[in-house]
Chain A
């Protein structure tokens, strides 16, 4: 099912080549070449919020097969600050991570973390967390910061609205996002080296989503992101919005589903989520049969590895009993589970990619879901979403 050689020519900094497509669903596996290397998609991008991935050496991340990770503009803009990163020669240099990076616009954190963040046509007005003075984050400013950070993929500043918001505010935000995209494009100093992605908004309104996507497509950007869907919306609504968006977005460009760690079947290529790393720090390991909460007493004398088939160093060296013994006491427990959970995500993605190439994606999904729900009590929204793309579960 090779797709051929249609490539996005709109960016000198990104080549996207679809290798195979699932004949039933919208899933596809591709190669995305960025200035810092090639990434196989679908890809899970771990989140290295403050210029580090929670206790792992950059070398360990490389060894785990990670080719792209995220940095958060808002956090890095605060500490260590843009001037320092500029002096260091960019974020890659500062962290000594030589593979690809993606930064967000900073907008989401501001709105979710700061009090009195007020959105105006100019930008996001907020109070500085340090001295309480009034600051403004404009689309131009966000791009300027991201240009300095130097990530391979950067995000537009969008008018983020909570997915539980309804009413005219949603439409207002959608239109403003499009206007802000144009300002971001105009402000972008580095299109040769950095790819600016727009973000499809529109809340849970199908018409707004379609309208937004259509407008964004006109701007001929190297790829697209789907935003506003990692909050408190119900899963039923969530998958429908993704589905609608990917139906409209062009096939030959990558799609990044922001803040979500799954939904490959709906045609997205890139994912990020703090869940695998965060849950590791709370003592939970991810496996193909579900989550394993190692703090539970039942693992006290379980001398087997977390996953006997997992090739990670944690599973090769440590037992559940030992991780149980030190979980939450020693920072090392976090590292052990972070290594395992990232490995898990990498293995999962690899299996997905392989199955798409071998035209066995549907079987893969069925077996995967069955592994998680052996008594077949699948969540309804999963069933609906999968049915919508032609997969019926076991």
Chain B
């Protein structure tokens, strides 16, 4: 039975200041049940090892997605150690990971990664970086994995090793190889899964003309096979990094990289050792988690500070979007904050992922959308008055901080030590119904496992609310909304939304 995947555009923005779209993405789940309709803009649920971080299936189903079935974003790099098991299992990754109800989107790399080593895409393969170091993936191997994982969608391989400092030779290699990968993948079997083609942002920073030609080649030759586009490379640094030991594991983020191989023992250089080395940008470094975590050499970067200035390359993304056909969805992977997501929606991007939520749970950054839900109750289904939670001063407002720091608060902050109000007064998730900021503060202070569990529940729920609100405003913007009681213009709504999600 052929699985359906249709993307239907419901509307395009009417205002000149935005290119946002509303769509409906029909996807089927691996269970073969009736297809689901995912309204876009939407987010894919970030996973690690196939599971939503910190959340077991029953907690996810009971407390985050009791009815919705958003597609999971599964990445081959952090599943590399058990690919064979999935193949032998025979029923696909969703079922293997205990989430058979959810459709799967299979990407090569974890979008939460902000740094990938440069110089390892050689021969006919692409380097993936996981827990045990490097895996070299050829198209044939990739197809084997797609067959084993049985996703509804998968992303083609691309040569991601491209940045603004790359030379023309590297550029040519990257585009040529990526087109080859696409070619081979489309002529092979896709096992009924829908293919998303990868376009590298980096191309547009090195040689715009060549980049244009490459995308046009994809559109000319392969459009029939392509069901969506991935605009890859946002926020990614491809740097020459030293690898520790023979396992080829990346040095943990935040550790100062040495340019001289003599300083540290047992290190291997990348093969391009006669090329001019690039040290990691200090700007980029400041946004990295500066605590090296042992044994997590390939863990994601964890900066989710919504107060930092965005390093989104709007111009480049715009340029890519302009080349792409309107009728196919566009996905920009990466740990994008709510504000960045909104900006990209306005540029015409349809799909995102929740890798930002994953990082925020570990850092204790909590999404507080009180402002948002005050102004946009429609984007949020249940309006609830939280019963006063057990605690001391629960009659008080608590620390009103959502204005101070944009739409996130850092629950580890001392000021929440004795704050007995819920994380968000307008949220009805389990965490907000049952627990206080004070308790969460304690859980993070003591590094208890329950902290990230509770914040994950809350942040995913809030992220969902945020997306629904964005759709609501886009709908208004497109003149589709039939709200008669609303007196604000769509531009006012948009401005207000930006204000609510804006970092300080």
Interface of A toward B, CB cutoff 8 Å:
50-60, 75, 79-80, 84, 87-89, 92-96, 300-301, 303, 313-314, 317-319, 321-322, 324-326, 329-332, 334-336, 339
Q: Which of B48-64 contact A (CB under 8 A)?
A: 48-59
CA distance A301 to B148 in the complex (A): 14
CA distance A80 to B412 in the complex (A): 13
Known: A80-B438, A88-B392, A94-B439. A334 touches B449 (CB 8 A): yes
Some 26 contacts from A to B, beta carbons below 8 A apart, are A52-B450, A54-B449, A80-B438, A80-B445, A87-B392, A88-B391, A88-B418, A88-B420, A89-B390, A89-B391, A94-B391, A96-B435, A300-B84, A303-B88, A317-B57, A317-B98, A318-B57, A319-B96, A321-B89, A322-B96, A326-B50, A331-B54, A331-B449, A331-B452, A335-B449, A339-B56
Residue numbers in A under 8 Å from B375 (CB-CB): none
CA distance A87 to B437 in the complex (A): 13
CA distance A178 to B270 in the complex (A): 70
> Are the CB atoms of B85 and A325 closer together than 8 Å?
yes
Of chain A, the residue at the smallest CB distance from B56 is A335
Known: A313-B56, A332-B51, A336-B56. A87 touches B85 (CB 8 A): no
Residue numbers in A under 8 Å from B448 (CB-CB): 50, 52, 54-55
Q: Which of B77-105 contact A (CB under 8 A)?
A: 79, 81-82, 84-85, 88-89, 96-98
Residue numbers in A under 8 Å from B88 (CB-CB): 301, 303
CA distance A336 to B57 in the complex (A): 9
Number of A-B contacts (CB under 8 A): 138
List the 3 closest pairs (A to B, CB-CB), nearest first.
A55-B449, A93-B390, A325-B82
Residue numbers in B under 8 Å from A95 (CB-CB): 439
Residue numbers in B under 8 Å from A319 (CB-CB): 89, 96
Q: How far is the CB of B357 from chain A (nearest CB, A)?
A: 15
Partner of A330, one of B49, B85, B418: B49
Q: Which of B203-225 contact A (CB under 8 A)?
A: none
Q: How far is the CB of B91 from chain A (nearest CB, A)?
A: 9
CA distance A88 to B438 in the complex (A): 9
Taking the complex as formed, is B65 at the interface, i.e. its CB lies under 8 A from any CB of chain A?
no
> Are the CB atoms of B417 and A84 closer together than 8 Å?
yes
> Are the CB atoms of B430 and A79 closer together than 8 Å?
no
CA distance A95 to B435 in the complex (A): 7
Taking the complex as formed, is B498 at the interface, i.e. its CB lies under 8 A from any CB of chain A?
no
Interface of B toward A, CB cutoff 8 Å:
48-59, 79, 81-82, 84-85, 88-89, 96-98, 131, 389-393, 417-418, 420, 430, 434-436, 438-439, 441-443, 445-446, 448-450, 452-454
> Are the CB atoms of B420 and A330 closer together than 8 Å?
no
Residue numbers in B under 8 Å from A331 (CB-CB): 53-54, 449, 452
Of chain A, the residue at the smallest CB distance from B98 is A317
CA distance A80 to B443 in the complex (A): 9
CA distance A212 to B217 in the complex (A): 88
Known: A93-B391, A317-B58. A57 touches B430 (CB 8 A): yes
Of chain B, the residue at the smallest CB distance from A334 is B449
Of chain B, the residue at the smallest CB distance from A78 is B446
Partner of B442, one of A56, A80, A301: A80
Residue numbers in A under 8 Å from B450 (CB-CB): 52-57
Residue numbers in B under 8 Å from A84 (CB-CB): 417-418, 438, 442
Known: A88-B420, A300-B85, A335-B453. A79 touches B54 (CB 8 A): no
Residue numbers in A under 8 Å from B389 (CB-CB): 96
CA distance A332 to B435 in the complex (A): 21
Of chain A, the residue at the smallest CB distance from B83 is A325
> Are the CB atoms of A332 and B56 closer together than 8 Å?
yes
> Are the CB atoms of B98 and A322 closer together than 8 Å?
yes
Partner of B439, one of A56, A96, A314: A96
Of chain A, the residue at the smallest CB distance from B431 is A57
> Are the CB atoms of B392 and A89 closer together than 8 Å?
yes
Residue numbers in B under 8 Å from A301 (CB-CB): 84-85, 88-89
Residue numbers in B under 8 Å from A53 (CB-CB): 450
Residue numbers in B under 8 Å from A79 (CB-CB): 442, 445-446
Residue numbers in A under 8 Å from B418 (CB-CB): 84, 87-88
Residue numbers in A under 8 Å from B392 (CB-CB): 87-89
Of chain B, the residue at the smallest CB distance from A328 is B295
Q: A57-B453, A88-B418 are in contact. List 12 more A-B contacts (CB 8 A).
A: A54-B448, A55-B449, A55-B453, A59-B430, A75-B446, A92-B390, A313-B57, A317-B98, A325-B85, A329-B131, A331-B449, A332-B51
> Are the CB atoms of B96 and A330 closer together than 8 Å?
no
Of chain B, the residue at the smallest CB distance from A332 is B51
CA distance A324 to B50 in the complex (A): 13
CA distance A341 to B417 in the complex (A): 32
CA distance A92 to B442 in the complex (A): 15
Residue numbers in A under 8 Å from B443 (CB-CB): 52
Partner of B49, one of A58, A94, A329, A334: A329
Name the residue among B85, B434, B436, B452 with the largest chain A CB count within 10 angstroms: B85
Q: How far is the CB of A93 from chain B (nearest CB, A)?
A: 4
Partner of A332, one of B53, B81, B438: B53
CA distance A59 to B85 in the complex (A): 33
> Are the CB atoms of B49 and A51 closer together than 8 Å?
no
Residue numbers in A under 8 Å from B454 (CB-CB): 57
Known: A303-B89, A325-B81, A330-B49. A50 touches B438 (CB 8 A): no
